[in-house]
Each structure stands twice: as structure tokens, then as C-alpha cells.
Amino acid sequence: MSYESPIREKLILGGKTYSDVSSDICRPLENKASTGWWIGFTLSAIVLAIWIYATTYTMLVGIGAWGLNKTVGWAFDITNFVFWVGIGHAGTLISAVLLLFRQKWRMSINRSAEAMTIFAVICAASFILSHMGRPWVAYWPIPLPNAFGSLWVNFNSPLVWDVFAISTYFSVSLVFWYVGLIPDIATIRDRATTKIRKFSYNFFSMGWNGSTRTWHRYEMISLILAGISTPLVLSVHSIVSMDFATSLVPGWHTTIFPPYFVAGAIFSGFGMVLTLLVVGRVVLKQEEYITTGHLDAMCRVVMLTGTMVGLAYITEFFVAAYSGVEYEQYAFINRATGPYWWAYWTMMSCNLIAPQVFWFKWARSTPWFIFMLSIIVNIGMWFERFVIIVTSLHRDFLPSSWTMYTPTITEFAILIGSFGLFFTLYFLFVRYLPTINMAEIKSIIPTHSHEDHSHAHATEGVKKGDAIHG
């Protein structure tokens, strides 16, 4: 029985066969790199070089290279950290949560989303190291026996739990991504024409032979990893939000932060997935695998989570007003009308107002428009983290300590350079590994068209009629 039904849109277009799927998805890997790939990779590598220089400069000179001061001790560094952790959320959600809920539309987009998760967490981890100021003692938050006697980390500190959350999230996501790749790496191995390619892909395919036992174990470990990963979607950004929520800074100590941060992370993560896939489906000629139906489903998630984030913004204002705490009330008035008002209203426009256009079918099915909105979403989510961190710190309890924060060229270089790190890794992924899961896609290829079903029913009806009249 085919998975496809007459009332459900086809997930794969073009009447593809199993052979077509292998050929189409392996083509970018087997042919010479295109001019577009070289241009994109070169630009990313140049921006990566800026990141390497700026980060090295920061570690040699110290945090004084940034625009931080006694009042604003966190700024671009933690803004970028939280931003990149959020970007990585969509990968785990698409791969794990939608797998457990048997959502078949995830199969065309999960591989790219998983890769995006790995690269985004690497970018986030780089900001953990750089903002410490002393990266050579970065191992201190890890609860290992050390040379200082009975000294252990403070398990009450949310920063320690940050280390647990990020390391667990990265390791589980990496294993999940790699396990899903194994059948496809074996397919590339079997199609390889040179000894080097055959040896390399054979090594990473881990002896995959395609037997029934192998497939059974593959499906079991996928479900187990999905079950482990699903709580991570909720826990990782909840723990990151507690860096703020467990403090006494006005605008930070609020119980709404964990669910609010999780919704925002999924929102920004799906925004980045859309940015990558809208371009990738055209460049890699995968429009028949990543259809407008897939884009439509992701746009609905963006619209839902954007509305949830907007509700959280409004709830924060209500709770501050209802609390009767003048410091809390002023913190939110200052966000909207103070010196950083432009950042607040950029955040509100990009995150709450802009995604509402996805109520219209045209907006959800027009790729160039989706691409523009996905960029706007990620700009808005970066500004959200900036607003939460900087506007809450620069004016807190004592007017005598109020000050303004101005980023330096080094901070801008690290921010822009982190995108170079991300896209360099992503371009290498696109060049050497399949961006769509061939094994899963083959399981949802329609075996009967709707016309075949209609014809079969009509023929059956004629035969019944002949039998009755006969």
C-alpha cells in the first residue's frame, strides 16, 4: 500500500524511481564543484579568516578589546552565544521530535537541519571560550578531579549547567547526524569511481552491508537517539535562559524565560533552515524533493513560534506592570523608549509583526519572499538577545552606575566572522556529503499515482456493473 493518499499532496514530485533519487542527490558530490560553490566557499573562507584574526586578537590582548564596562559586563559575546545555540534548535526538533511523531515531510529537510545544528553549536562554543577572558582555563567548569585538592565546580551555578547542556546537546546531535548518514555514505561508496573516494567512504560507512539485521539496528538506534534528543530541545535553551532568570537584574529574573527562550530558539532555527534550503533547493536542483509543501510546513512553524514569542514580549510588560516593582517597570519602559529603543522596535517588528504575513498562502509558497522573511526573522532574534542583555544591564538599580555600551570593531568582526565559520563548514558539508537522506526519501516515493487509483476504481465499477446486468 502506498504512503500517498488522494487527499495528501505528494512529498516527492516528478515520478522519481529509487535510481533517480540516488543519482539526483549524489550528483553534486560526484561532479566537479560548480563555480557558484567555489564563489560561496571562497567568500565564507575570507570571512572565516576575519573571525580567526579577531578572536586571536581578543585572546592575546584581552577582553579590553571589546566595548564592555563595569555595568555592561555581557554584551555581544553572550548575545552571539545565545543566538547560535538557538539556531541549532531546529535541527534536533526536525530530526527527533518530528521523527517520533511520524511526520514524513521532515525527511527532505532533516539532514541539512542536523548539519546546521552541529555547525551552529560549534559557533556558540567559540563564544563561550572567548568571553571567559582566560580560555586556557576553560576546563575549570568541567567537574573533573583537579590539582587544587577538593575544589569542585559550583553545581548551583547555571554557567556550569551551560557546559553540561551544550556538551550533551552537541555530542547527541553529532551521533544522531552521523548515524543517519551511514546508509547514504555506503551508497556513495558503492558508486565511487576512484580508489581514494571508495576508501574514504568505505571507512566512514562502518561496514554497512544493507542486510535486514543492519537496517533493524539502524532504525532502533535512530528511535533511541530521537528519544534522548527530544528532551534536549526543551532542556538546552531552558538552561541557557536560567543564566538570566536566576539573577536579580530587572528584566531578567522572570519565570517565563525557559519556555520563551525555547519558542524563540525554534523560531530562529527554522528561520535559518529556510534561509539555507530556499537557496539550496535551487542551486542543487532539488525542487522536486524540497517542494513548496515543505516550505509551507516550515513557514507555519515560524508563524506559530513567532506568535508565541510575541505573546511572551507582551506578557513581560504585563507582569512588570502588575508586580508593582518600580525597578522592573522602569526596565521595560526603558527598553521601549530609552536610548536603545531602536533595537527593541527592530526586535518587535521582525519577530512579532513580520511572521504574521505567513497567514497568507501566497507568502508561504513564494520562495524568494520566504527567503527574505527568514533573513528578517534571524535579524530580529539576534536583536532580541541584544535587547534582553544590554538594555537590562546598562540601567539597573543605581542611576550612578548607568552607562552606555558601544561595540568595538573587534566585536563586529567576531560576529560577522562567526557566519564565515558557519558557512565554511556548511559548504564543505554540501560538497562531500548528501544534503538529503536518500534512504528515508526512498521509503516515501509514491508507488501508485492518484490517476492509477481512480482508473482502478473505475475499472472495478465497470466489472461490477457488467456482472450485475449480466
Q: How far apart are CA 344 and CA 65, in angstroms?
A: 26
pLDDT at 447: 63
pTM of the model: 0.87
Q: How far apart are CA 431 and CA 29, in angstroms?
A: 6
pLDDT at 374 over 90: yes
What 8-state DSSP symbol labels residue 108?
G
- Does residue 458 form part of some domain? no
Q: How far apart are CA 4 and CA 446, in angstroms?
A: 6
Q: Which cell numbers hold the place of 143?
A: 567537574
Q: How far apart are CA 166 and CA 239, in angstroms?
A: 9
Question: Which letter, b or e, does each residue of 439-462 get, where b requires 16 or more Cβ atoms within 10 Å of its Cβ?
Answer: bbbbebbbeeeeeeeeeeeeeeee
- Mean pLDDT value across residues 234-238: 85
- Mean pLDDT value across residues 137-161: 75
**pLDDT band at residue 130 using 50, 70 and 90 as cut-offs:** confident
pLDDT at 6: 57
Q: Which among 106, 152, 114 has a CA at the least distance from the CA of 441?
A: 106
Q: How far apart are CA 388 and CA 399, in angstroms?
A: 19
- Does residue 424 form part of some domain? yes
pLDDT at 120 over 90: yes
Q: Which among 223, 355, 250 has a CA at the least distance from the CA of 298?
A: 355
- Does residue 84 form part of some domain? yes
- Mean pLDDT value across residues 309-325: 90
- Mean pLDDT value across residues 402-423: 93
Give residue 342's identity as a one-letter amino acid code.
W
Give residue 436's identity as a one-letter amino acid code.
I
Q: How far apart are CA 73 and CA 80, in angstroms?
A: 14
- Does residue 9 form part of some domain? no
pLDDT at 358: 93
Q: Which cell numbers hold the place of 269?
A: 532555527
pLDDT at 134 over 90: no
Q: Which among 87, 99, 100, 109 has a CA at the least distance from the CA of 12?
A: 109
Lowest-pLDDT choice from 149-153, 397-401, 459-463: 459-463
Residue 142 phi/psi, 5° resolution? -85, 130
Q: Which cell numbers hold the place of 303?
A: 508563524
pLDDT at 468 over 70: no
Q: How many domains does one find in the chain?
A: 1
Q: How far apart are CA 155 and CA 431, in angstroms?
A: 42
- Does residue 467 form part of some domain? no
- Please state, rounded to an integer, the average pLDDT across all residues of the chain: 85
- Does residue 318 form part of some domain? yes
Q: Which cell numbers hold the place of 190?
A: 558503492
**pLDDT band at residue 454 using 50, 70 and 90 as cut-offs:** very low
- Mean pLDDT value across residues 373-379: 93
Determine the 3-state secondary structure of 408 from DSSP: coil
- Does residue 78 form part of some domain? yes
Angle at 36 between CA 33 and CA 42, to 5 degrees: 85
- Does residue 466 form part of some domain? no
**pLDDT band at residue 148 using 50, 70 and 90 as cut-offs:** low
Contact 94, 273 (CB under 8 A): yes
- Mean pLDDT value across residues 31-50: 91
Domain containing residue 272: 18-445
pLDDT at 462 over 50: no
Q: How far apart are CA 24 and CA 331, in angstroms?
A: 54
Give residue 412's identity as a one-letter amino acid code.
F
pLDDT at 455 over 90: no
